[in-house]
Amino acid sequence: MTFSLAALDRDTGMFGIGVASSSIAVGNRCPWARAGVGTVLTQHRTDIRMGPLGLDLLARGFAAQEVVDIMVAGSEYPAQRQFTVIDREGRTAFYNGPGIESINAAATGDACVSAGNFLANADVPQAMVDAYETTSGAFVERLLAAVDAGVAAGGETQPAMAAALLVVDRHSWPLVDLRVDFEEHPEIGLRRLWRAYEPLVERFVTQVLRPFELKPLINSALTV
């Protein structure tokens, strides 16, 4: 019940994921990313354990396809799983379990991969890849465009009610980790969150590394 796109931005080295689902808390379960390492998405009868496992394998130097193969081989119920992986070189791989009874599909582009299940039609992943690759502007804007395109192409058989945006850069913590849960038109809510968060992204990095450089925000609670 999920459709997603993961990508490596070759210009900045950032990894990012945009994902939406009719299922609550998709951002807590499906997208995984580590700076300088890669991304993993675990979908359909989601096995959350595969996220950290996949990232650890990527960190050890396994290529994307090798990681997918290992996750499939190590799963108790591989026929019910859907995985995508991007490694540090931008290589992609995906797996759609043969036991997934709903419409499911995947598509790849240059250092990006999209996949979905319980889809309204099999064209949704390609629409997400196309939007990501043809949208100009910053990395996050391209990821959000992919999510919008997935919704516009039909999305799931049920309305999306959750969405998430995850971006990692040079640090051990996410640069962006925004989530909308159990809300109609979550793709709109996700953009709204990004608009509020975008001016503060660098501040939140600076307060970790050089907190003495910061001045208090006037009339704002965002000083944590």
pLDDT tens, residue order, the chain (224 aa): 899 999 999 999 999 999 999 999 999 999 999 999 999 999 999 999 999 999 999 999 999 999 999 999 999 999 999 999 999 999 999 999 999 999 999 999 999 999 999 999 999 999 999 999 999 999 999 999 999 999 999 999 999 999 999 999 999 999 999 999 999 999 999 999 999 999 999 999 999 999 999 988 765 545 44
The answer to whether residue 206 is domain-embedded is no
The CA distance from 140 to 109, in Å, is 17
pLDDT recorded at residue 74: 95
> CA 44, 50, 56 angle in degrees (round to 5)?
150
**Number of structural domains the chain divides into:** 1
Which pLDDT score, from 0 to 100, does residue 23 have?
A: 94
Q: What is the DSSP secondary-structure string of 136-196?
A: -S-HHHHHHHHHHHHHHTT-BSS---EEEEEEE-SSSS-SEEEEEES-SSHHHHHHHHHHH
Residue 64 lies in a domain: yes
Flag whether 210 is in a domain.
no
Which tokens is 49 given? 């354990």
Asked whether residue 217 is domain-assigned, the answer is: no
CB atoms within 10 A of CB 24: 13
Task: Identify whether 10 is part of a domain.
Answer: yes
Q: How many other CB atoms sit within 10 Å of the CB of residue 178? A: 20
Q: What are phi and psi of 122, to 5 degrees?
A: -80, 0
Where helices occur in the chain by DSSP H, the ranges are 26-29, 50-59, 64-74, 124-134, 139-152, 186-197, 201-209
33 located within any domain: yes
pLDDT for position 216: 82
What pLDDT was estimated at residue 45? 95
Whether residue 220 is contained in a domain is answered as no
In this prediction, residue 1 carries a pLDDT of 85
Give the Cα separation of 85 and 64 in Å (integer): 5
DSSP summary character for residue 216: P
User: What pTM, to 2 d.p., does this model score?
Assistant: 0.95
Give the domain range for residue 195. Answer: 2-199
- Residue 124 belongs to domain with CATH number: 3.60.20.10
Could you tell me the CA-to-CA distances from 38 to 12, 48, 111, 112, 184 in Å, in that order? 13, 16, 10, 11, 30
- Is position 180 within any domain? yes
Residue type, 122: A
